[in-house]
Amino acid sequence: MSENNIIVAEATPRGVGAISIVRLSGDNCFTVAKSFMSGLPEDNPPESGKVCLVNLVDGEKVIDKATVVFYKSPYSYTGEDMVEIFCHGSPAIVSTIVSIAESLGARRARAGEFTKRAFINGKVDIITAEAINSLTRSMTKVGSSIAMSVMKGNLKTVIGDISKGMLLIQALIEAIIEYEEDIPVEGTMKRVNTELNELIKQLQRIEASYGAFKVLSGGANVVIVGRKNAGKTTLFNRLLGYERGIVSEHPGTTRDYIREPLHLGDDYLIYLTDIAGLGEVSDDIDMMATESARGVISNADILVFLVDVQYGWGGIEDKILGSLSDKEIVYVVSRADLCEEGVVKVFKKVESITGCKPIVISSITMQGIDELRERVRAIMSSLSKIGTFLVSERQRELVWEMIIHLKRVVNLIERGEGIEMVAEEMRCAIRCLELFEGRGYTDEMIDKIFEEFCVGK
């Protein structure tokens, strides 16, 4: 690469810290880096992978004392000559280092450009690159573990098996075209249909895994829902462990939603949300609060549905339940301390209507609060047992397109359409598989993929 293809960027999050890392990569990056360092060993170039203590200088002025590592191509993350500078974590120092590098011919790296170069130079494949991106963005221990399993080849193994199945189907279809008179067409097509349906089921399971990965890695949206004055905000505060929302005996106190992060142990993260109570609308503000609440509910991963023991299950609860579809719901009988004799009755009513055993809680005595946390944690834990996960929207979209094409193949076969049409649709499915594995991308497509990555990665 020419000198103006040397890239530079901060590789750690911006802000104050003990240490920050600045990366340079590209031909002649050693020369650029050494131009603002003093105290380097005599080695020229410095020994690859050796940690050196240097002074970073701006002209005659020392701006920091830092450690630096020079990586000789191809033994670096990018596969190019590369330098990593470990300086003190002052934003001013980092900015100065980057500016000096730019003045010497480097340019600021675009998002994901270091990993893009690693991909182009054969250091990582596209699936591994996306797993690296997911690992750097993961907010949880479980999410990091999933990303690491993909980096180790878990997803590639599964996709490899699917690839074998799809190529077998394509071979059978092409054989019918080439040797129609020599093979049993009806029996072969029956086998193709069976293989296709099995592949579609497998791909549908994999496609669904991306939603679970987003929840496990980035956190689940957990929304507390129920009628007005059912104790939602009090429960919200108890689960958080501090007073975040305003509590009042007057119905309708909460008008806008409140959301706060909550860690459930080391493994899981949720974003707990308190919304306005649902029910009869009394004015325009109430209407806006209700619309806002319904928008929050539509994006929820898990709902905590409160049934106030004083009111029991009534028409409002019927309407709320009727508006909830395809959601994981935890049912809660709230305010157990206010009407102990009514708890059993409401418990049985909720169980009979929903088929689920509710959790009985009191935000005053703390009854059931730990049980509720554990119930939500158990839901999260069940998602982590899926096994194989997709870790990017690109992967999910391509798997979905594979499913569409394979379903079309099945449909064409069932309708008795020409074998050439069947073969063409099968080729489209295999093209999606090739793209999934990182084959056949144009430069523009590669740029688009790595734009989603972090700067400095």
Q: Does one domain contain both 346 and 282? A: yes
CATH at 209? 1.20.120.430
Q: Does one domain contain both 366 and 227? A: yes
Q: Does one domain contain both 140 and 79? A: no
- Residue 76 CB-half CA count within 13 A: 28
| 100 domain-assigned | yes
CA neighbor of 335 nearest in space, from 363, 305, 311, 355: 363
| 443 domain-assigned | no
Residue 211 has pLDDT above 80, yes or no: yes
CA neighbor of 115 nearest in space, from 80, 150, 164, 72: 80
Q: Does one domain contain both 28 and 95? A: yes
Question: Which of 124, 155, 186 is the C-terminal boundary of a domain?
Answer: 124
CATH at 298? 3.40.50.300
Tell me the percentage of the chain whose pLDDT exceeds 90. Answer: 57
| 16 domain-assigned | yes
Query: In whole angstroms, what is the distance from residue 234 CA to residue 240 CA?
Result: 10
Residues recorded for the chain: 457
* Tokens representing residue 406 in the block: 């394979």
DSSP 116-174: HHHHHTTSS-HHHHHHHHHHHH--SHHHHHHHHHHHTTHHHHHHHHHHHHHHHHHHHHH
* Tokens representing residue 81 in the block: 């000559």
User: CA-CA distances (angstroms) from residue 108 to 150, 187, 285?
Assistant: 30, 60, 48
Q: What is the DSSP letter of 358?
A: P
| 129 domain-assigned | no
| 451 domain-assigned | no
Q: Does one domain contain both 243 and 374? A: yes
pTM: 0.84
| 50 domain-assigned | yes
Q: Work out how many domains the chain is built from and give that number.
A: 3
51-80: pLDDT as tens digits: 999 999 998 899 999 999 999 999 999 999
Between residues 265 and 217, the one the model is more confident about: 217
Q: What is the pLDDT of residue 1?
A: 40
Give the least confident one: 1-5, 148-152, 194-198, 421-425.
Answer: 1-5
Q: Does one domain contain both 362 and 239? A: yes
Mean pLDDT of the chain: 88
What mean pLDDT is predicted for residues 244-270?
A: 76
Q: Does one domain contain both 146 and 259? A: no
Q: Does one domain contain both 370 and 248? A: yes
Between residues 231 and 23, the one the model is more confident about: 23
Q: What is the pLDDT of residue 365?
A: 85
Q: Does one domain contain both 16 and 116? A: yes
Question: Which of 124, 152, 175 is the C-terminal boundary of a domain?
Answer: 124
What mean pLDDT is predicted for residues 326-346?
A: 83
Q: Which domain holds residue 161?
A: 135-215+392-437
Please, which pLDDT band fits residue 255 given cuts at 50, 70 and 90?
low
Amino acid at 225: V
Residue 204 has pLDDT above 90, yes or no: yes
| 200 domain-assigned | yes
Residue 360 backbone dihedrals phi, psi, to 5 degrees? -90, 125
Residues 6+ apart with CB under 8 A from 78: 25, 114, 117, 118, 121, 123
Q: What is the pLDDT of residue 281?
A: 67
CATH at 117? 3.30.1360.120
| 374 domain-assigned | yes
DSSP 375-407: HHHHHHHHHTTS-----SHHHHHHHHHHHHHHH
Helix (H, G, I), strand (E, B) or coil at 83: strand
Q: What is the pLDDT of residue 2?
A: 43
Question: Which of 383, 406, 429 is the C-terminal boundary of a domain?
Answer: 383
Give how far the C-alpha of residue 53 lies from the chain's centroid of Cα atoms, to the nearest Å: 38
Give the least confident one: 227-231, 242-246, 273-277, 340-344.
Answer: 242-246
With beta carbons less than 8 A apart as the criterion, state whether 63 and 93 touch: yes
Strand order through the sheet with 82-89: 37-38, 51-58, 61-71, 82-89, 17-25, 7-10, 107-108
343-372: pLDDT as tens digits: 888 889 888 898 899 999 888 888 889 999
393-419: pLDDT as tens digits: 999 999 999 999 999 999 999 888 888
Q: Does one domain contain both 81 and 183? A: no
Q: Does one domain contain both 223 and 297? A: yes
Q: Does one domain contain both 368 and 418? A: no
Residue 146 has pLDDT above 90, yes or no: yes
Between residues 46 and 158, the one the model is more confident about: 158
Residue 58 backbone dihedrals phi, psi, to 5 degrees? -120, 95
Tell me the percentage of the chain whose pLDDT exceeds 70. Answer: 92
Residue 341 has pLDDT above 80, yes or no: no
Please, which pLDDT band fits residue 265 given cuts at 50, 70 and 90?
confident
Residue 180 has pLDDT above 70, yes or no: no
With beta carbons less than 8 A apart as the criterion, state whether 79 and 117 touch: yes
